[in-house]
Amino acid sequence: MNVLDGQWQRLDPRSIPAAGVVVAAPALATVLIMTLAGAGVTAVLITVLIGLGSGVLVAGGATYQWVFYRYRVTEERFEQRLGGLVRNHRSIPRERIRTVDLTAAPHERLFGISTVKISTGAQGDEAAIKLQSISRADAETLRHAILLGGRSTVEEEGRSDDGVLSRLKPQWLGYSALTVSLMLVVWGAIGSAFGSLDELLRKWGVFEALGSAVVAMGVVAFVLVVVGIALVAGIVGAFLLSLEMWWGYQLTREPGTLRVKRGLLTTRSLSLEERRLRGIELCEPLPLRLAGGARLGAVATGLQAQKQDKKQPESKTLLPPAPRGEARRVAAAVLREQPFDVPLLPHPRAALRRRIGWALWSALGVAAAVSTPAVLGWFPVGFAMSLAVLALLAGLGFAVDAYRGLGHALDERYLLARNGSAMRHTVALQRENIIGWRISRTLFQRRADLVTVGATTAAGSSLYRIYDVPTGEGLALADEAVPGLLAPFLERDVEPERAGARGERPPH
């Protein structure tokens, strides 16, 4: 297929049976569960008929889309045309396209097709166009046509800017098992399964057995056992989810483009133009950081507005949870320099006192929350006191760790900022792409002569903050990072001529 010839193209006809399979598989699982639960023959037959009817309707919708859907790529635009009675024609200038992502779910891989998502990175549903679905070869050709101007990988082979920057090592999956967000997904799925299989669990006597266990073990021991089981299930489930998400991971650099390929059951290919890159972010959740790991994300235009499946990492992710040294190496390879080698400046003790204050208030809230159940006799008073003490110790530990994590620096090209404890972020933002500053001070910060300096940019999360830095130092940092941008809003306390004569920067 020559996608640059300007001719209208169809979707792949294999998308019709693939759409039917999506409905048939869950219907089959439902029938199996009903059979195990002892449902009547009539109910099972009705469920089968509903599944078949749904499959026919979905396949009919896919047929309609195949008949009336057209797309084409010209030298200047990507166009889409859809509809029989009501026509819909959309057009996107090619220079506005930020990403071209390829996805192949298990049922699509079965039929050899892929879904292509073309996005401008803007807000709203109109910012992206999905082609569901075209053949794998056509999807790859389309991606190269839009992002690489039609150049094939063979034509570009041997270029100095091509190459594999990172590949998955199996031992990295152990770091992914420590990802709290994946554990939350696992626990949510377990809770949903208990609700959906309520009748089956009652028939098997699961709830009666749990009630007997509570009576035999006591509430406290039972809760501790449940927490332990949930923790083990979360770690195992997170490992399995990461295995599905990151198997086959490979980060490559093509001419002007970074590409991430990954996925075991559902394969994904995410592409990012390097000219959209504005910096890089090192993310270290606490469990991962304690194990010496980190993950890496891009700060780029066109990625902040894209919605994500909660079961999938963000589109900005360049490296899965991996050893911290690997994350730093990949950051250097992506940026072609290592920004994280610059030593960060610590923040004043007043920032530590603020965090200790937050910890004390949090511990007081926990003590108030557990005191009422303890007074009512729902669990022992000693257990409630232990929870309050643990909350205080944990809060103080997080406060000290959060203070130690504060830091900032400035080098020739990048502004660096680090903060956080439970989720520590270290961002390296290109100074030339900072478009503004947001200076904020709370009442308590003013009393401690502290300020929060936020750098705004048209990329990533749009605002990157440096928390609790001395007022004069923070304003001087902003003025030096982007000379002239903040100057009209500053008051000079020392005459420039006198400061210049001493070789000093005038204080702000």
Note down pLDDT in tens along the chain; length 508 residues. 565 567 899 999 999 988 888 887 777 777 777 777 677 778 778 878 888 888 888 888 889 889 999 999 888 889 999 887 788 888 888 888 878 889 999 889 999 999 998 888 666 556 788 888 899 998 988 888 887 664 444 344 444 456 899 999 999 998 988 888 888 888 888 887 777 667 667 767 777 777 777 777 777 777 788 888 888 888 888 899 889 999 999 999 988 889 999 999 999 998 888 888 999 999 999 999 999 999 999 999 876 544 455 556 777 899 999 999 999 999 999 999 989 989 999 999 999 999 999 999 999 998 888 888 877 777 778 878 888 899 999 999 999 999 999 999 999 999 999 999 999 999 999 999 999 999 999 999 999 999 999 999 988 888 999 999 999 999 999 999 998 887 777 665 544 444 443 444 444 4
Strand ranges inside 54-98, DSSP E = 70-73, 77-82, 88-93
- 474 and 453 in contact (C-beta within 8 Å)? yes
pTM beyond 0.85, yes or no: no
Q: What is the pLDDT of residue 143?
A: 87
Q: What is the pLDDT of residue 153?
A: 42
Angle (nearest 5°) at CA 453 between 448 and 456: 165
The Cα 51–Cα 40 span in angstroms is 17
Q: What is the pLDDT of residue 34?
A: 72
Of 2.20.25, 2.30.29, 1.10.10, 1.10.287, the CATH number of 3-150 is: 2.30.29
Could you give the count of Cα atoms lying within 13 Å of 44 in the half-sphere of its Cβ?
13
The Cα 136–Cα 140 span in angstroms is 6
Per-residue buried b or exposed e for 186-205, using 16+ beta carbons within 10 Å of the residue's own CB = beeeeeeeeeebeeebeeee
Q: What is the pLDDT of residue 309?
A: 56
The Cα 403–Cα 50 span in angstroms is 58
- 413 and 400 in contact (C-beta within 8 Å)? no
- 21 and 144 in contact (C-beta within 8 Å)? no
Q: What is the CA radius of gyration of the chain?
A: 28
- Beta-sheet pairing, 293-300 with 267-273: unpaired
Domain edges within the chain = 3-150, 349-405, 408-508
Which residue type, as a one-letter code, is found at position 7?
Answer: Q
What residues contact residue 357 under an 8 Å CB cut-off, 6+ apart? none
Q: Using CA of residue 206, residue 209, residue 215, residue 221, what is the dihedral sign?
A: negative
**Tell me, what DSSP letter sits at residue 310?**
T
Measured CA distances, 305 to 146, 315, 393 (Å): 21, 10, 38
Assign residue 435 a region (left: φ > 0; alpha: ψ between -120 and 50; beta: otherwise). Answer: alpha
Q: Which residues pair with 451 in a beta bridge?
A: 469
Question: Which fold does the domain 408-508 belong to in CATH?
Answer: PH-domain like (2.30.29)
Give me the numbers of helices (H) and strands (E) for the chain, helices first please. Answer: 17, 19
Q: What is the pLDDT of residue 493?
A: 56
